[in-house]
Amino acid sequence: MTRGAAERADIADHTHADIVIIGAGTAGLAAAHALTQRGREVVVLEARGRIGGRVHTITDLADQPVELGAEWIHTSTTPIRRAIAEFGMADEEFPVSHGLDVIAIDDERWNSLLEAAADLDPSEDLRSFVDRLAGSVAERDELEKLFAFWTTRESLEETSALHTMLEVAGNRTDGEALHDADFKLKRGWRPVLDRLAAGVDIRLGVAVRSITWSDPVVQMNAVTDDGRAVTVSAEHVVVTVPLGVLQNNGIRFEPPLPARKREAIDSMSHVPVVKMVFVFDGDVWPDGAPDDISDPEILPSRAILSNGWQENRAQTIIALWAGGRDATRIESQDVPEVLRLGEKALEHYLGDKFRRPRKAIVHLWAGDPYARGAYSHTPPGARADVRDRLAEPLNGRLFWAGEATARWRPRTVGGAYASGLRVADELS
């Protein structure tokens, strides 16, 4: 039974496949697409009633698609750009201009930072690392801005200096320019995900609750969105659910996962993110402003022009973004109050161009039961190989993918996509 991504697939009381992939996010779809093309029998189980996971494109809010989750293509070298080009969608990309809080430094400066990081202890946080390196207040401010941008504005005190510099080193080894332009897609991510999902057997509305993985055939117990209990078996299972779901025991493993795997799961953290999207009539974005502006004194501290590629805009689509501690502060409020907070922030960002928005929506990713946060994070104390440990297969039967397993660009759609290709190779 082969289905397209948009069609809900019924599931029998018992289903068997050679390979079952849990999760139809970017990692799961990338693995399923690659394996299906190689002739493998694959079934994807997705708890939601849609594909995409933490990528969530909606089309009924504005005159252009809107992303409630991930929306960036980070840097020109990410492998998912090759897929976008192969799908004939390269002309969908448009570059995004960042605000003045982005500090671009040359290779010589990066090399000096990497040399200073050669003997970093896993327990050291980025704040301590910056304080040790900075020779002046100006240099400290520059490094704080650099790492705040590089780590997606997470708290420097709660971020591993070792893992940050390992990621920098890995990206440079792969030939990535760290201050290269970022991109978005005019129609959002959904057309790309639809192409990845085409021809793949996807069962929507099926939430896996437990995995018994000690026998030659892996057994899974699941519940459909109408409350029906089903069982699924496979020779190989790929787990792509977000780190927050694993940490909250959203899936029970029998026998329990080995200490090495459990330690990898528990030693990372998942970052809460609040994303609000506001739609305005006309063009209200400040003249000459970049597409991504921020102010650490404002909550939310970041405003992003989502349809910056359009000239003579009939509507302006603006996303407000808050992560980490800021998101936690916002999440304690009810939705109307969150949106009022967003409007107040927009009065600051838009100045005399502000007017009441036509529509608005908010998504709290930490409260999403199938996400439990927006992306993974490595706090001080996490082992240098923690992501590799999370990615390690178990007994040749249980495989792992997702942005949390990605050494290259974790926390991103590109990293999730690359992890899906990796696990497809492991199964080939």
DSSP state for residue 125 in the 8-state scheme? B
- At 314, the amino acid letter reads A
**Inside any domain, residue 4:** no
Token couple for 112: 């000096």
Instruction: Using pLDDT thresholds of 50, 70 and 90, give the confidence band for residue 311.
Output: confident
| Residue reference for tokens 């000459």 | 288
Cα(210)–Cα(220) distance, integer angstroms: 6
Any idea what the CATH number is for the domain that residue 355 is in? 3.90.660.20
Say if residue 210 is in the same domain as residue 285. Answer: no
Say if residue 299 is in the same domain as residue 190. Answer: no
Say if residue 263 is in the same domain as residue 391. Answer: yes
Say if residue 355 is in the same domain as residue 299. Answer: yes
Say if residue 261 is in the same domain as residue 139. Answer: no
Q: Is residue 5's pLDDT more than 80?
A: no
Cα(178)–Cα(188) distance, integer angstroms: 24
**Inside any domain, residue 144:** yes
What pLDDT, on a 0 to 100 scale, did the predictor assign at position 275? 96
Strand 252-254 with 206-212, pairing: parallel
The domain boundary residue, chosen from 159, 178, 197: 178
Say if residue 41 is in the same domain as residue 117. Answer: no
Q: Is residue 13's pLDDT more than 50?
A: yes
Average pLDDT over residues 393-412: 94
What pLDDT, on a 0 to 100 scale, did the predictor assign at position 174? 61
**Inside any domain, residue 140:** yes
For residue 380, say if its preceding peptide bond is cis, omega within 30 degrees of 0: no
The angle formed by the CA atoms of residues 62, 64 and 66, to the nearest 5 degrees, is 75
Any idea what the CATH number is for the domain that residue 221 is in? 3.50.50.60
Say if residue 263 is in the same domain as residue 393. Answer: yes
Say if residue 389 is in the same domain as residue 265. Answer: yes
**Inside any domain, residue 164:** yes
Average pLDDT over residues 141-156: 77
The domain boundary residue, chosen from 139, 160, 178: 178
What pLDDT, on a 0 to 100 scale, did the predictor assign at position 110? 76
H-type alpha helices, 230-296: 243-247, 259-267
Sign of the C-alpha dihedral, residues 134, 140, 142, 143?
positive
For residue 65, say if its preceding peptide bond is cis, omega within 30 degrees of 0: no
What pLDDT, on a 0 to 100 scale, did the predictor assign at position 180? 62
Token couple for 34: 């690659």
pLDDT digits (tens, 9 = 90+) for 268-288: 998 889 999 999 999 999 999
Say if residue 240 is in the same domain as residue 387. Answer: yes
Token couple for 59: 């089309």
**Inside any domain, residue 61:** no
Say if residue 117 is in the same domain as residue 257. Answer: no
Average pLDDT over residues 332-345: 95
**Inside any domain, residue 73:** no
pLDDT digits (tens, 9 = 90+) for 70-105: 999 988 888 999 999 999 999 999 988 876 455 566
Instruction: Using pLDDT thresholds of 50, 70 and 90, give the confidence band for residue 10.
Output: confident
Domain count, the chain: 3
> How many C-beta neighbours within 10 Å does residue 345 have?
22
Biggest alpha carbon–alpha carbon distance for the chain? 66
**Inside any domain, residue 135:** yes
Cα torsion at 341, 347, 350, 351 (round to 10°)?
Answer: -160
Say if residue 224 is in the same domain as residue 86. Answer: yes
**Inside any domain, residue 129:** yes
Say if residue 253 is in the same domain as residue 190. Answer: yes
The domain boundary residue, chosen from 160, 178, 196: 178
Instruction: Using pLDDT thresholds of 50, 70 and 90, give the confidence band for residue 6.
Output: very low
Is 270:372 a contact under the CB 8 Å cutoff? yes
Token couple for 60: 């009924």
Its domain, for residue 158, covers 107-178
What pLDDT, on a 0 to 100 scale, did the predictor assign at position 173? 63
**Nearest CA to 156 among 129, 132, 179?**
129
What separation, in Å, do the N-terminal and C-terminal C-alpha atoms of the chain show?
22
Instruction: Using pLDDT thresholds of 50, 70 and 90, give the confidence band for residue 67.
Output: very high
Instruction: Using pLDDT thresholds of 50, 70 and 90, give the confidence band for residue 3.
Output: very low
Q: What is the pTM of this model?
A: 0.93
